[in-house]
């Protein structure tokens, strides 16, 4: 047995073992987002009064709802499929609200308790099967009804078709700009569908509510989810909110102005009550200036000269009020360019770098730069510590190069000396020895002038930082 809790009223959906006599236990999550549903915030609160509310709200296909009286005191819950009174026969719907909130909704919609119809019983298996069969035929009946209306040349559009629960009546919802004479149409419908025909004309907003869809904001249409009343929307609403009169942007899926334009209208009207009139003109020493633009959020007004309307000057509304009072006293104000005060530019700090496309790359580069800098600082600090302690002498390339050059020059001198012809010993002059008088001559040895001096070579030291 189906719980009938799907939005479209498709009874083919079933909740399986969760369906009980009290209704669907998982009614809020089994795919049944009720259109124009009311949140029962009193469901977990026990009623202190002894008498309970005997009225329940029953939802039918799409957004059609009605209130019924539970005369037999049947235990009903949200999601219960019930058989209710209708004319003719009976209809089948799903309970959408119970408890004390039903009286509040009836008072809000101005429904009298005396005119409410009654609930017969909870739907049995036979009622559910008949309801399923007629629901399956609705799409094909809608297509056939449109063909018949087009053949008769009627300027109308069949939007939706709804069968009654016992298949004794079918209701056609249609939209039309002008009045339609459908006397012949009803005869053709009765002959084609063999049941009682009921025609109901709806507006374009009601059509959008029945069909549903996604708005320009990316969410489901307000009229098909929670909006119950349709207030009139005109172009003055867009003018108060300083919006451009663009029909493509201001119109919704129904072709009319969007209902959401009314949501913030009261806030705009409260703010605009503190503004001077948009038709305000200022008498300056340079000429007359008129208001050309208003910024509601910044509370500023833009003015321009009548002779030169290209240059705009913005002023706070407090300053504009002072200038208007000065003009009323018969005094002219300073030119607009003199009244304009230089604005202090506020530097905006982009903490999360939203406006920077390469924020991730720059972040990585900065991290690498800091890492390299930290490494070089650490190495320099280690070298300084080593020099101070005298443990190791750092490898300096300039000293090594000087030492290599000196060794190379000595080698060249030695090679040149070997290449020169040797003189005989007799011809070689004897070196004259200088006698050095020293008190401690015995302890010191005299140097040998004939002995060649070789620079002691040390192995190259290892570079720890290489």
What is the per-residue DSSP string for 198-229? EEEE--HHHHHHHH--B-TTSSB-GGGTT---
Classify burial at 65, counting beta carbons within 10 Å of its beta carbon; exposed 0-12, middle 13-18, buried 19 or more: buried
The pair of structure tokens assigned to 107 is: 């008072």
The CA distances from residue 341 to 305, 308, 315, in Å, are 18, 20, 9
The pair of structure tokens assigned to 71 is: 């005369």
Question: Which residue spans within 296-378 are E strands per DSSP?
Answer: 300-305, 313-316
**Which H/E stretch holds residue 197?**
strand 196-201
- Give mean pLDDT, residues 296-313: 87
The CA distances from residue 51 to 39, 107, 206, in Å, are 22, 18, 37
Say whether pLDDT at 239 is over 60.
yes
Distance between CA atoms of residues 317 and 294, nearest Å: 10
Of 48 and 239, which is predicted with more confidence?
239
Distance between CA atoms of residues 254 and 435, nearest Å: 127
The pair of structure tokens assigned to 238 is: 């867009």
The pair of structure tokens assigned to 51 is: 């008498």
Distance between CA atoms of residues 91 and 117, nearest Å: 11
Alpha helices per DSSP H over 390-455: 397-419
Say whether pLDDT at 378 is over 80.
no
Task: Band the pLDDT of 190: cuts 50, 70, 90.
Answer: very high
Say whether pLDDT at 32 is over 50.
no
For residues 67-85, one letter each, b for 16 or more C-beta atoms within 10 angstroms of the residue's C-beta and e for the rest, the string is: bbbbeeeeebbbbbbbbbe
Across the strands, what pairs with 333? 284
Spatial CA neighbour of 116 closest among 62, 63, 73, 57 = 57
The pair of structure tokens assigned to 236 is: 């003055």
Provide, rounded to the nearest whole percent, the portion of the chain with pLDDT above 70: 65
Distance between CA atoms of residues 255 and 200, nearest Å: 20
Provide, rounded to the nearest whole percent, the portion of the chain with pLDDT above 90: 25
**Which H/E stretch holds residue 386?**
helix 359-389
* Mean of the per-residue pLDDT values of the chain: 77
- Give mean pLDDT, residues 149-167: 92
Task: Band the pLDDT of 434: cuts 50, 70, 90.
Answer: very low
CB 42 within 8 A of CB 97: no
Distance between CA atoms of residues 19 and 9, nearest Å: 16
Length of the chain equals 466
CB 224 within 8 A of CB 233: no
- Give mean pLDDT, residues 159-172: 92
Task: Band the pLDDT of 137: cuts 50, 70, 90.
Answer: very high
Distance between CA atoms of residues 364 and 105, nearest Å: 60
Of 307 and 387, which is predicted with more confidence?
307
The three-class DSSP label of residue 138 is helix
Say whether pLDDT at 388 is over 60.
no
Q: Report CA torsion sign: 282, 286, 287, 291.
A: negative
Distance between CA atoms of residues 114 and 180, nearest Å: 34
CA 332 to chain centre: 49
The three-class DSSP label of residue 337 is helix
Distance between CA atoms of residues 379 and 356, nearest Å: 35
The pair of structure tokens assigned to 31 is: 């795919």
Say whether pLDDT at 89 is over 80.
yes
Q: How many CB atoms lie within 10 A of CB 148?
A: 17
């Amino acid at each position: 047995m189906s719980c009938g809790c799907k939005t479209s009223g498709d009874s083919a959906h079933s909740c399986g073992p969760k369906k009980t006599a009290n209704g669907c236990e998982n009614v809020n999550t089994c795919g049944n987002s009720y259109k124009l549903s009311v949140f029962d915030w009193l469901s977990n609160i026990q009623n202190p009064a002894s008498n309970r509310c005997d009225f329940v709200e029953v939802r039918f296909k799409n957004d059609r709802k009605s209130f019924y009286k539970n005369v037999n005191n049947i235990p009903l819950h949200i999601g219960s499929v019930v058989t209710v009174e209708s004319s003719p026969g009976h209809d089948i719907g799903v309970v959408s609200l119970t408890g004390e909130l039903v009286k509040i909704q009836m008072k809000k919609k101005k429904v009298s308790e005396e005119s409410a119809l009654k609930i017969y019983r909870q739907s049995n298996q036979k009622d559910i099967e008949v309801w399923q069969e007629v629901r399956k035929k609705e799409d094909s009946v809608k297509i056939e009804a449109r063909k018949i209306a087009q053949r008769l040349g009627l300027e109308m559009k069949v939007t939706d078709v709804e069968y009654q629960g016992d298949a004794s009546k079918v209701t056609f919802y249609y939209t039309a700009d002008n009045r339609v004479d459908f006397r012949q149409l009803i005869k053709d419908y009765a002959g084609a569908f063999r049941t009682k025909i009921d025609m109901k004309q709806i507006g374009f907003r009601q059509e959008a509510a029945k069909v549903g869809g996604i708005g320009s904001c990316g969410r489901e249409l307000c009229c098909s989810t929670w909006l119950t009343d349709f207030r009139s929307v005109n172009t003055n609403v867009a003018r108060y909110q300083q919006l451009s009169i663009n029909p493509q942007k201001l119109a919704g899926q129904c072709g009319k102005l969007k209902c959401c334009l009314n949501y913030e209208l009261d806030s705009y009207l409260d703010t605009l009550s503190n503004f001077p009139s948009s038709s305000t003109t200022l008498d300056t020493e340079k000429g007359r200036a008129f208001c050309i633009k208003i910024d509601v959020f910044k509370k500023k007004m833009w003015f321009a000269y009548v002779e030169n309307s290209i240059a705009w000057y913005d002023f706070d509304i407090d300053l504009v009020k002072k200038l208007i009072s000065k003009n009323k006293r018969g005094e002219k104000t300073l030119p607009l360019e003199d009244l304009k005060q230089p604005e202090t530019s506020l530097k905006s700090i982009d903490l999360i770098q939203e406006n920077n496309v390469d924020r991730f790359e720059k972040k990585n580069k900065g991290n690498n730069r800091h890492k390299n800098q930290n490494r070089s600082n650490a190495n320099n600090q280690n070298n300084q510590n080593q020099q101070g302690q005298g443990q190791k002498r750092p490898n300096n390339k300039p000293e090594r190069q000087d030492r290599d050059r000196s060794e190379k020059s000595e080698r060249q001198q030695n090679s040149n000396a070997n290449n020169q012809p040797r003189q005989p010993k007799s011809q070689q002059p004897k070196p004259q020895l200088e006698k050095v008088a020293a008190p401690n001559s015995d302890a010191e040895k005299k140097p040998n002038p004939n002995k060649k001096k070789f620079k002691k070579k040390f192995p190259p030291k290892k570079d720890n930082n290489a």
